[in-house]
Amino acid sequence: MLPAAITVLSSSPELLANQWQRYKYFYTQKGLSQKLLTIIRYLISGEAQCEYCIGFNAATLINMFELTQNEVKGLVEDPSNAPLCEKEKALLLFVLKSVNNAHSVQQSDINELKALGSSDKEIVDAVTEGVTMLAGTILFDTFKVEVDY
């Protein structure tokens, strides 16, 4: 079965190929945990109110990372309580800040991430995952992608 979210891009083979490359990169990179990336996708899709993405990422957090439904709901209430190490929790909060208001980001925010051990690559990758998720939610909602999982 090809997920409905992927079929949206099938009318543009070049964009579909690009998206598959992005998936491959984020699933094989070594700097950021898959749990962090999934929490980023879950929270961004929640803010954008994309039901397809909310459900998919919530299910991933529950089934793959063994969070309870209450823990998943708690992420929305207070992302600073995410079950992540200090470095990744700071990255998560930074991504949310940048996606919600990039103009509010200061060099001191980036310096704090680096002081916790984040590399430039990890910071850029984390923000990229957030903004890509936001773009995806807009695409899925525009084309009324139905839940098929």
Q: Are 46 and 73 in contact (CB under 8 A)?
A: no
Query: Which residue has better confidence, 20 or 41?
Result: 41
Domain map of the chain by residue range? 33-142
pLDDT grade for 137, boundaries at 50, 70 and 90: very high
* Angle value at C-alpha 133, between 131 and 101, nearest 5 degrees: 35
Q: Are 53 and 140 in contact (CB under 8 A)?
A: yes
Residue 142 is encoded by which pair of tokens? 């525009």
Position 92 scores a pLDDT of 98
Residue 65 CB partners (closer than 8 Å, separation 6+): 34, 35, 38
Question: Could you write out the DSSP letters of every residue in 63-98?
Answer: HTT---HHHHHHHHH-GGG-SS-HHHHHHHHHHHHH
> Under CATH, domain 33-142 is a member of which superfamily?
AhpD-like (1.20.1290.10)
Return phi, psi of residue 39, to 5°. Answer: -65, -40
**pLDDT of residue 1 exceeding 80:** no
Cβ count near 85 (within 10 Å): 14
pLDDT digits (tens, 9 = 90+) for 93-111: 999 999 999 999 999 999 9
| pTM exceeds 0.85 for this model | yes
